[in-house]
Amino acid sequence: METIVSLCKRRGFIFQGSDIYGGIGGFWDYGPLGVELKNNIKRAWWRAMVQERDDIVGIDAAIIMNPLVWRASGHEATFTDLLTDCKNCRHRFRADKIKGWEEPEKIACPNCGMRGQLTPPRDFNLLFKTTVGPVADEGSIAYLRPETAQAMFVQYRNVQETTRKKLPFGIAQQGRSFRNEIVHGDFIFRDREFEQMEMEFFVKPGTEDEWHDYWKEARLNWWKKTLNVSDEHIRIKVIRPDRTYIEGPDPDDVQVEKPPHYSKGNYDLEYLFPMGWSEIEGIASRTNFDLSAHANLSGKDLSYFDDETKEKYIPYVVEPAMGVERCFLVALLEHYREEVVASKDGREEKRVVLKFPYALAPYKAAVFPLLRNRPELVEMARNLARDLKTEMMATYDDTGAIGKLYRRQDEIGTPFCITVDVQSLDDHQVTLRDRDSMEQVRVDVSQVKGWLGERVK
């Protein structure tokens, strides 16, 4: 993890939020390469979950919603973690993450080591509060949304009526969520501000188990095919009210859990992070918990009339929900390689390479002139880069020797480097070098855009 953290900072993927002021815990800023990787992840998800499907549509809702939304959803009352303080060193902990937390008087503080100093655990609500309008009083309190899901329930009726979708169908959304986590950490794994990609799939009651299994397979395949995650690094934690077990690697390494308050069962996809198996996506069988709760509190009818069977019911919901930051971290951890390669003069040297799937790579191509003091080469390389930029993220660089420029692009995962050399002026061909095999081919400059476009699509 330390290697990845330092690579992210050194190359401009991620910076500490408000860096010059010493940062602020749980908030991160994404730099020039980070924003590209994030956008590519979001695009890949949207493509699989909305663009390529007839039965799912997207929305983009406001972050701040009527506070009654969070009353109905149960977040106001129950979106809590257990908090304990050390009276000696004043450190705060999530109680349930400390071994023996049920009897705090008997255990030592994980920070200062003093026994008997931890306070009895108490509930801490993770909602971020704010006020709306010029007067800050009880009536103006609102919350930053802790999940994107609720907008899909609140707008279910509007979306269903305007799109005339029939069950089963889904509503998807990507956007920021906020949780005042007691302990943030493991780099960007647990943040206080993060982005979620969630889809609520509305189904006929009685068919939810079938759809739950369908989405488990579909989402597992997405991680394997789009993120190229290997079978040994991903697994499913099955969380039922009476039983927790693993499908996949390390089946004995599991802690018993209960499904969230809104769910009758969860499939949590877990990735083998450096700190151990941890959740990357939750696929919950949410029943009609949310729609019923909103119908009750708002007084609006959120039932569905089934034209074919002439039945009226409140749909059940299956929800695949994931965080962009965890996916970002998986992309880096899964594809980071340190390789020993032979340099031009035959010596062995180390190269760091991010072997991202092409669709995720921040830049698809980088263009260099072999000699930066030859204006004709510089001009030809700049023109080629400019032309590529009309189709894909590409960059021009002439700030070092070619070997060094290759290494820089390998380290950020650019699939193809293109060199314009003296011969290019005569034969109008350039050298394309493949990131993974490091093999080189000569391609006519007029064909480069098409050649790359086919491969990085």
Nearest alpha-carbon partner for 359 in 397, 396, 392, 408: 392
Residue whose CB is less far from ligand GAP, 11 or 237: 237
* Beta carbon of residue 412, minimum distance to ligand GAP (angstroms, whole number): 23
Helix (H, G, I), strand (E, B) or coil at 179: coil
Residue whose CB is less far from ligand GAP, 49 or 280: 280
The sheet that has 316-323: what strands, in order across it?
56-58, 169-178, 193-203, 316-323, 276-287, 266-273, 234-240, 243-247
Query: Which runs of consecutive H residues, i.e. helices, occur in 317-447?
Result: 324-335, 375-389, 402-411, 422-427
Residue whose CB is less far from ligand GAP, 269 or 448: 269
Question: Is the Cβ–Cβ distance between 200 and 316 less than 8 Å?
Answer: no
Residue whose CB is less far from ligand GAP, 219 or 364: 219
416 phi and psi angles, rounded to 5 deg: -135, 135
Provide the token pair at 222.
């997405």
* Beta carbon of residue 259, minimum distance to ligand GAP (angstroms, whole number): 11
* Burial (Cβ within 10 Å: 0-12, 13-18, ≥19) of residue 158: exposed
Helices (H) and strands (E) in the chain, counts: 13, 24
Residue whose CB is less far from ligand GAP, 84 or 174: 174
Residues forming a β-bridge with 92: 85
Residue whose CB is less far from ligand GAP, 191 or 421: 191
* Beta carbon of residue 430, minimum distance to ligand GAP (angstroms, whole number): 41
Residue whose CB is less far from ligand GAP, 181 or 209: 181
* Beta carbon of residue 149, minimum distance to ligand GAP (angstroms, whole number): 4
Q: Which residues bind ligand GAP (CB under 6 A)?
A: 147, 149, 179, 181, 190-191, 194, 196, 198, 279-282, 321-323, 325-326
DSSP states of 200-262 as a string? EEEE-TT-HHHHHHHHHHHHHHHHHHTS---GGGEEEEEEETTEEEEESS-TT--------TT
Nearest alpha-carbon partner for 59 in 187, 208, 163, 178: 163
Place of tokens 């909602």: 127
362 phi and psi angles, rounded to 5 deg: -55, -50
∠ CA(425), CA(372), CA(36), 5° rounding?
100
58 phi and psi angles, rounded to 5 deg: -105, 160
Provide the token pair at 379.
């001009």
Residue whose CB is less far from ligand GAP, 198 or 334: 198
* Beta carbon of residue 193, minimum distance to ligand GAP (angstroms, whole number): 8
Residue whose CB is less far from ligand GAP, 14 or 417: 14
* Beta carbon of residue 273, minimum distance to ligand GAP (angstroms, whole number): 12
Residue whose CB is less far from ligand GAP, 170 or 282: 282
Q: How far apart are CA 166 and CA 154, in angstroms?
A: 18
Residue nearest to ligand GAP (CB): 323
Question: Is the Cβ–Cβ distance between 70 and 127 less than 8 Å?
Answer: yes
Question: Is the Cβ–Cβ distance between 269 and 281 less than 8 Å?
Answer: yes
* Beta carbon of residue 177, minimum distance to ligand GAP (angstroms, whole number): 7
* Beta carbon of residue 56, minimum distance to ligand GAP (angstroms, whole number): 16
* Beta carbon of residue 35, minimum distance to ligand GAP (angstroms, whole number): 17
Residue whose CB is less far from ligand GAP, 145 or 335: 145
* Beta carbon of residue 146, minimum distance to ligand GAP (angstroms, whole number): 7
* Beta carbon of residue 175, minimum distance to ligand GAP (angstroms, whole number): 12
Residue whose CB is less far from ligand GAP, 235 or 326: 326
Place of tokens 């039983």: 243
* Beta carbon of residue 176, minimum distance to ligand GAP (angstroms, whole number): 11
